[in-house]
Amino acid sequence: MAHYTELNIGPIHPAVHGILKFKVKLQEEIIEDVEITLGFLHRNAEKICELNYYADNMVYFDRMDYIDAMNMELGYLTAVEKLMDMEVPERAQWIRMIMAELNRLAARLVGLGAFGLDMGMLTPFFHCFIEREKIQKIFVEASGGRQEVNYMSIGGVYQDFNDQIINDIREFLKEFKPYLEDIYGMFMHSEIFWQRNDGIGILEPDVALDYGVTGPLLRGSGIAYDVRKDAPYLFYDKVNFNIPISHKKDNMGRFILKVEEMRQSIRIIEQSIDKIPDGPYFNNKAKKSMMLRLKGDGEVFSRVESENGEFGVYVRGNGTFKPWRVHVRSPAFKNISVVPVMAKGMMIADLIVIIGSVDTVIGEIDR
Amino acid sequence: MKNGDLGIKTTTIEKALEWGSANSLWPLTMGLACCAIEMMATQAADLDIARFGSEIFRNSPRQSDLMIVAGTTTKRMAPRVKRVYEEMPYPKYVIAMGVCVIQGGPYVDGYSVVMGVDKVVPVDVYIPGCPPSPQALTYGIMTLQKKIKHETDR
Amino acid sequence: MYKIISESEDKNKIKIINIDKNDLIEFMEDYKSKGYYLSSITGVDMQDHLEVIYHIHNYDTHEYIEVKILTTDDKVPSLTKLWKAAKGDEREQYDLMGIIFEGHENLRRIVLPDEWVGHPLRKSYDLKKVQYINMDSEGKEHVSYNENEGW
Amino acid sequence: MVATVKEIEIPKKPVPILGSLRTMGIVGKYMFKKPITTQYPEEKGEIPERFRYRIFLAPEACIGCTLCEQICPNHSIKMEKWDFKREDTEKLTIETAHGERTNLQNKRHIYPDVNFGTCTVCRQCEEICPTDAIYLTHEFENSRTRNSFTYSPEELTKQEQDVIK
C-alpha cells in the first residue's frame, strides 16, 4: 500500500526564488506530484495599466520581471509604438539594444548566483553580484535608476548616452569576459555541481512545446527558438550572434547554454557599441512637454526575448489617451507550469535544483 | 523583551542588552518582490552588511530578530507575513523597505495590495525608495541600531 | 468544416482570424495538425460582449496568428485537450476576466483566493469596494469586505 | 539571417579532487585582488551624476503649472498653497533645459507637495518641469521611524536633517 507524505515548500522559502508555494506529494523521497500555488505577488498591474496613460505604465512594466527591467520596457514600448505609429530614431534603437543586452547579463548573473545558492555554493553568488553591481553602475550613469530604471520612453530614451558611458561599457566588457569564464569555472569544475545537475530535470521537446515553454528552457531541449532570430526587433538582424541550443535536455545543458548566451550577449554589445550613430535620441513628435498624452487606436501584439523567454504584450487602444486592455504573455508563467512534469519521479532534493534551473521571477508570473 | 521590562532597575544591564541586540541584528529573508534583489545586493560583497553585525540572512524566523519586509505585500501574503512575524522570538524588529510596504507605492490604485505593511505588523524603520539602493538600506539598518539604543527619534 | 468570418491584420502584421465560437475546437484541431502551438489567451471586456483572443504560433514557419472569437454569455469551449499550455492561461482568464471555459477540468481561481467576489479585469468591477483576506490556522483563506476581519 | 543556431559543447566531467582543486585555484586568485567593499557610512562610494533620489524644489523657479501633478503615475504630487515671498521675480533669471527664463510668476501661489511614501522615483516630474523647479537629488539617507513621508513645499526646499517629523 502506498504511503504518501505531503510537504509544503513556500511561500517564503529561499529556494523558490520569490514567493511561490509548492505542495509536494512524496512517496518516501520520490516526488509523485507537485501542485503549484501562485498569486502571492499578484499586484494587479494589468488593471492599473488600464487606468493610467500610456506612458505612465512604464513604472509597472519595470516591476514585472524586476531583474530584467529593460527588456520589459522594451516589450511594452514595441507594442505601444506600433499602436501609435511612432518612429524611433536610430540612435535610440541602438541604445535600447545595448541596454537590453546589458540587462540580460545582469539578470542572468542573479539567476546564476541564486542557482548556486540553491546547491549550497556560496562563492559564485558573491562574484556574480560584484559583476552585477558594475552593470548597475552603468545603468545609474545612463538613467539614474539602479534596478527599476525607467529609462525608455515612447519615442526613444529619456537620456542620451555620453562618451563616459560608452567608455564604461567597453571597460566593463573587457573585465567581464575573463570574469565570466572564472564564474563558469567555479561551477563547472565542481563535482557536486555535476552530480546534482547531470541528468536531472529532463524536459522532452514535445512536452515543452505542449506547455508553451520558451526561452533557455526550450532551447535547452533542442528547439532553436529565439524571438531575436524569429522576428527580429530593433537591429538584431544587423548584428552577428549565435542562438545556442542543447540536445542534452537537462539542467546541466541548460546551465552551459545560459552561460553561452551571456557570451553571445557580450558579442552583441561589442558590435552594437561601435555602430551607434549620431543623431537625436528622442522622436521630436513625442518630445518632452506633453508627450505622455498620446492617443492609441487598434490592437497590437508584440513580443521580445526577455531573460526567461518570449515576453509578449497585447495592447488594445480605443482612440483615447488610456489603453483599453493590456495583457502580458508571461514566459515565466508557462515555464513554471512545466516543473511538475520535470520533477516527477525525482528526489525531493532535485526539486530545488529544478526550480533553480527554471529560474522564474515571480513578479512576472503573478503581475 | 522590550526596554524596561526587566523588572529590576538595572540600567547598565539594559544598556548592555541594547548594545548587544543593536550590533547583532540577524535579518530574516523576507524578500517578497523587487526590493529583495537589492537586499541581496546589500548582503553581497559590494556593501557587505556583515560589517554591522547582520552577519547572515537566516531563512528560519526562529533564528532571526530583524524582519526586512522587502517588496510589495499583497493581501494574500499579509496573513503569512504576520504569521512569520509571530514566529520570531523577542526582541524583534521590522524594517519596511521600499515604498510599496510604506504606503502602497505605485499600486495605490489597485485592489490586491496592502497599503502599508504597518497595518499588518508593527514597523520600526521605514526606508523610502523604489527600490532603495543598498546604501539606503544600510542607512536604514543604522537608523534601527540608533533606535534600539534610544539615540534617534525622527 | 469551420467558417472564417473575416480576416484582417493588426498593427504588428499579425494575421487576425475571426471565427464563430462554435467552430473553435474544429479550427484549432486543424491548426494543431499544421504544427501550431498555443502561445497566449487574452480576454477583452467590450462591455456588451467578451472577446477571447488566442495567439497561436508555428515554430517551423515562424508564423503568428491571432484567432478571435466573441461571446455574449461568458462561455467558450476549453482548449485543454489540445494543448496543456491552455490549463494555466484559461484559469488565469477565468480568474481575472470571468470567462468560463467549458470542459476545463480544474477551472478554479489561480492568482486570487477562491472566495474572492467579482472578476477584477471586468470594466464593471468596482475598485472602491475593498476586499480583505484572512488566513486561519490551517492555511485556508477567507475573504471579507470588513476591514477588521482582514489579516 | 545573421543569427545562427549553434549546438553547445558539453565539457568533460571534472576529475574528482582535481576539479575541486581547480575551483579553489580560481577562487583563490581573487584573494590577492583589491577588496571591493565600500565602507559605507565613512565613504559613500562613487555616486554617478544622474543618480536620483529625494525630490527637491526650487521655489523661485516654480510657476505653479501643475504639470508634475498631472504626470505623476501614482498621484504622489499634490499642489498646495504656500505663501512664499519671492523677491525680484522680474530680475530673476533661471537657466533651464529650454533656455533661460525670466519673469517667472506663480500667481496662484501653489507649489508641489510630495508624498515620498508612494514616490517611485521615476523622474517624470523632473523631465516635464518647464523651469526645472522640481528636481531629484542624490539625497538617499532618509529612513524614518515614522510613517510620514509627506513633504510640504517648504520642507522640499530643506535638507533631510532639517526636516523634522
Q: Is the CB of residue D71 less than 8 Å away from at least one CB of chain B? A: no
pLDDT at D87: 67
Clarify whether residues C38 and C82 are in a common domain: yes
Q: In what order do the strands lie in the sheet with C50-58?
A: C4-9, C15-19, C63-71, C50-58, C36-45
**Cβ–Cβ below 8 Å for B112 and A43:** yes
Q: Do chains D and C touch (3 or more CB pairs under 8 A)?
A: no
Q: Taking a C-beta distance cutoff of 8 angstroms, is the pair C56, C38 a contact?
A: yes
pLDDT in tens, chain B (154 residues): 555 555 555 678 888 888 888 888 888 878 888 888 888 888 888 888 888 887 777 888 888 888 888 888 888 888 888 888 888 888 888 888 888 888 887 888 888 888 888 888 888 888 888 888 888 888 888 888 888 887 766 6
Query: For residue C76, is pLDDT > 60?
Result: yes
Residue range C123-132: mean pLDDT, rounded? 82
The number of distinct structural domains making up chain A is 1
DSSP category for residue B51 = G
Strand partners, C16: C8, C66
Neighbours of chain B (3+ CB pairs under 8 A): A, C, D
Nearest Cβ partner of D37 from B47, B104, B129? Answer: B47
pLDDT at A90: 87
**Cβ–Cβ below 8 Å for D147 and B138:** no
Q: Is the CB of residue B149 less than 8 Å away from at least one CB of chain D? A: no
Tens of pLDDT, residues C26-71: 888 888 888 888 888 888 888 888 888 888 888 888 888 888 888 8
Residues of C in contact with B79 (CB under 8 A): 133-135, 141, 151
Clarify whether residues C80 and C105 are in a common domain: yes
Domains of chain D: 54-162 (3.30.70.3270)
Nearest Cβ partner of C120 from A47, A312, A337? Answer: A47
Residue of C34, C111, C151 to mutate for A, most A C-beta atoms under 10 A: C111
Residue of B49, B93, B108, B144 to mutate for D, most D C-beta atoms under 10 A: B108
Residues of D in contact with A56 (CB under 8 A): 71, 73, 124
CA distances from A193 to A88, A197, D24 (A): 45, 6, 14
Residues of C in contact with B119 (CB under 8 A): 151
Residue range D102-125: mean pLDDT, rounded? 79
Q: Taking a C-beta distance cutoff of 8 angstroms, is the pair A106, A169 a contact?
A: no
CATH number at residue A320: 1.10.645.10
Neighbours of chain C (3+ CB pairs under 8 A): A, B
**Cβ–Cβ below 8 Å for D20 and A137:** no
Query: For residue A8, is pLDDT > 80?
Result: yes
Give me the percent of chain A exceeding a pLDDT of 90.
0
pLDDT at A286: 67
Tens of pLDDT, residues A50-86: 888 887 888 888 888 888 888 888 888 888 888 888 8
Residues of C in contact with A79 (CB under 8 A): 12
Please name the residue of chain B whose CA is at the shortest distance from the CA of residue D139: B136
Clarify whether residues C91 and C119 are in a common domain: no
**Cβ–Cβ below 8 Å for A137 and D127:** no
Q: Please, which residues have CB within 8 angstroms of residue B128's CB and are 6 or more apart in sequence?
A: B98, B99, B102, D116, D117, D119, D142, D143, D144, D149
Cis peptide before B131 (omega within 30 of 0): yes
Task: List the one residue out of A141, A147, A129, A132 whose CA is nearest residue A168.
Answer: A141
Q: Is the CB of residue A14 less than 8 Å away from at least one CB of chain B? A: yes
Residues of C in contact with B120 (CB under 8 A): 151
**Cα C105 to Cα C103: distance, rounded to the nearest angstrom:** 6
Q: Is the CB of residue B53 less than 8 Å away from at least one CB of chain D? A: no
CA distances from D45 to A145, A172, B71, D38 (A): 16, 18, 25, 6
For chain A, give the number of residues.
367
pLDDT at C111: 85
**Cα D141 to Cα B29: distance, rounded to the nearest angstrom:** 23
Task: List the one residue out of A29, A54, A100, A51 whose CA is nearest residue A347.
Answer: A29
pLDDT at A288: 53
Q: Do chains D and B touch (3 or more CB pairs under 8 A)?
A: yes
**Cβ–Cβ below 8 Å for B112 and A42:** yes
Query: For residue A27, is pLDDT > 80?
Result: yes
Q: Taking a C-beta distance cutoff of 8 angstroms, is the pair D52, A144 a contact?
A: yes
CA distance B53 to chain A (A): 18
Q: Is the CB of residue C116 less than 8 Å away from at least one CB of chain A? A: no
Clarify whether residues C53 and C106 are in a common domain: yes
**Cα C40 to Cα C53: distance, rounded to the nearest angstrom:** 8
Tens of pLDDT, residues C14-33: 888 888 888 888 888 888 88
Tens of pLDDT, residues A254-290: 888 888 888 888 988 888 888 888 888 887 776 654 5
Task: List the one residue out of D47, D48, D49, D57 whose CA is nearest residue D126.
Answer: D57
User: Strands (DSSP E) along A143-268, which ranges?
Assistant: 152-153, 156-157, 241-245
Domain range holding A228?
Answer: 5-366
Q: Please, which residues have CB within 8 angstroms of residue A191's CB and are 6 or more apart in sequence?
A: D13, D14, D16, D19, D20
**Cα A224 to Cα D7: distance, rounded to the nearest angstrom:** 9
**Cα D138 to Cα D142: distance, rounded to the nearest angstrom:** 11
Cell digits of residue D109: 501661489
Characterise A215 by phi-psi region: left (phi > 0), alpha (psi -120 to 50), beta (else): left
Burial of C79 (0-12, 13-18, 19+ CB in 10 A): buried
Q: Taking a C-beta distance cutoff of 8 angstroms, is the pair D60, D86 a contact?
A: yes
Burial of B154 (0-12, 13-18, 19+ CB in 10 A): middle
**Cα A12 to Cα B73: distance, rounded to the nearest angstrom:** 12
Flag whether the pTM goes above 0.90: no
Residue of D6, D8, D20, D22 to mutate for A, most A C-beta atoms under 10 A: D8
**Cα D60 to Cα D133: distance, rounded to the nearest angstrom:** 8
Query: Which pLDDT band, with edges at 50, 70 and 90, does D165 fall under?
Result: low
CATH number at residue C82: 3.30.460.80
Residue range C121-150: mean pLDDT, rounded? 80
Tens of pLDDT, residues A192-210: 888 888 888 888 888 888 8
**Cβ–Cβ below 8 Å for A56 and D73:** yes
**Cβ–Cβ below 8 Å for C133 and B78:** yes
CA distance C1 to chain A (A): 25
Please name the residue of chain A whose CA is at the shortest distance from the CA of residue B73: A41
**Cβ–Cβ below 8 Å for D146 and B143:** no
Clarify whether residues C68 and C121 are in a common domain: no
pLDDT at C85: 85
Domain range holding C41?
Answer: 4-111
pLDDT at D94: 67
Q: Is the CB of residue B38 less than 8 Å away from at least one CB of chain A? A: yes
Q: Taking a C-beta distance cutoff of 8 angstroms, is the pair B124, A62 a contact?
A: no
Query: Which tops the pLDDT comparison, C6 or A72?
Result: A72
pLDDT at C135: 82
**Cα A324 to Cα A318: distance, rounded to the nearest angstrom:** 6
Nearest Cβ partner of D20 from A150, A191, A245? Answer: A191
Clarify whether residues C120 and C104 are in a common domain: no
Residue range A29-44: mean pLDDT, rounded? 85
Grouping H, G, I as helix, E, B as strand and the rest as coil, residue D116 is coil
Clarify whether residues C90 and C117 are in a common domain: no
Nearest Cβ partner of A186 from D6, D27, D48? Answer: D27
pLDDT at A289: 47
Residue range A230-246: mean pLDDT, rounded? 85
Residue of A6, A23, A301, A324 to mutate for C, most C C-beta atoms under 10 A: A301
Tens of pLDDT, residues A89-99: 888 888 888 88
**Cα A21 to Cα B70: distance, rounded to the nearest angstrom:** 18
Helices A251-275 and A348-358: angle between axes, nearest 10 degrees:
10
First to last CA, chain B: 23
Query: Which pLDDT band, with edges at 50, 70 and 90, does C143 fall under?
Result: confident
Query: For residue D1, is pLDDT > 60?
Result: no
Grouping H, G, I as helix, E, B as strand and the rest as coil, residue C124 is coil
**Cβ–Cβ below 8 Å for D117 and B143:** no
**Cα B153 to Cα B144: distance, rounded to the nearest angstrom:** 10
Strand partners, A234: none
Query: For residue A183, is pLDDT > 60?
Result: yes
Clarify whether residues C148 and C123 are in a common domain: yes
